[in-house]
Amino acid sequence: MSAHRQFHLLGQSIGMDTEEYFLDSCAMPNWATYLTPGPAEQQLGLFCLGVGEQVNAVRPAPERALGCHALVWVKEGSGQLLHGADRQLFDVQAPAMLWLYPGVLHGYRPATRWRQSWVLFGGTATAGLAALGHLDQRRPVSRYADSRPVDRAFSRLLRVASAHNAVQTAGALYDVLGAAAPATGDGVAERLAGLACVVASVQDYAAELGLTVKELREAVRREAGVTPQELVLRTRLSTAKALLAEEELSVAAVARRVGYEDPAYFSRLFTARTGESPRAFRRSGSFPGPISSF
């Protein structure tokens, strides 16, 4: 019987919650569970290839490059992470998340004992996560003033992945990535979204937010992974959907509410981006086909 299975049964036998064990595994031996997702699981876009917990002694670990993405949640200890072809060293002080990438060299340099949890993962969703700034090779180490959200999310991931529940594991992976994502800015994207239905140029939006156009573009790209124009468009379309679904307004009135004086132009834009006309969306409230670009 594996050490992980023994541990799980021990938790059941003494009546303690399994999640509590994952949150406090200092008395637990190293363990690992490796998964092989099938075709249906791979279609989820994000899938787990392995999870585990371990303690690293105070000595350099062998340098290697993985064939997939990995997160390493350092719950106790300090040291350095060697990262990249130039073997750059990044300081690690628990609580910290290490972000490891396919084909990128890494190695651990613990200065004290490291107690850590880890997950290996892959899937087509990683490309989108990278585009949105959640997987950034320039920032392989993240620190946290409050580690509890990441601790809870990682604990759940370990639990559901060990139970081999593919859908729950995919959801838990997203939860960990969301909780662990480093702060990306000062809320500029959110503030711009609040202005999106006001008819204005990018220069006007920047001035209203007290930024230069360059600062606005850089902040929105960093926080939302898109241009200011794209964020404004998406916000307007989302607002239009809510109005169409929840209010008894004409299409022309909806167009004006979201910043378009020409209802015909609004209808063409809405159709191109959603795959159906505003009137069709009002009837169905859903997407009948693939979303096209505009």
Higher pLDDT, 93 or 286: 93
| pLDDT for 184 | 58
| pLDDT for 159 | 94
| pLDDT of 23 over the 50 cut | no
CATH annotation of 3-180: 2.60.120.10
| pLDDT for 45 | 94
For residues 48-62, average pLDDT: 93
| pLDDT for 17 | 39
Higher pLDDT, 289 or 119: 119
For residues 218-244, average pLDDT: 91
The pLDDT confidence band at residue 193, using thresholds 50, 70 and 90, is very high
Sequence ranges of the domains in the chain: 3-180, 188-284
- The radius of gyration of the chain from alpha carbons, rounded to an integer in Å, stands at 23
The pLDDT confidence band at residue 222, using thresholds 50, 70 and 90, is confident
| pLDDT for 225 | 78
| pLDDT for 285 | 64
| pLDDT for 224 | 81
| pLDDT of 13 over the 60 cut | no
Q: Which range, of 21-25, 106-110, 183-187, averages the lowest pLDDT?
A: 21-25
For residues 48-69, average pLDDT: 93
State percent of the chain over pLDDT 90.
70
d(CA 60, CA 38): 35
Q: Which range, of 50-54, 137-141, 176-180, 184-188, averages the lowest pLDDT?
A: 184-188
| pLDDT for 182 | 66
For residues 91-111, average pLDDT: 96
pTM for this model (two decimals): 0.69
| pLDDT for 223 | 79
| pLDDT for 131 | 82
> CATH assignment of 188-284, given 3.40.50.300, 3.40.640.10, 1.10.260.40, 1.10.10.60?
1.10.10.60
For residues 153-162, average pLDDT: 95
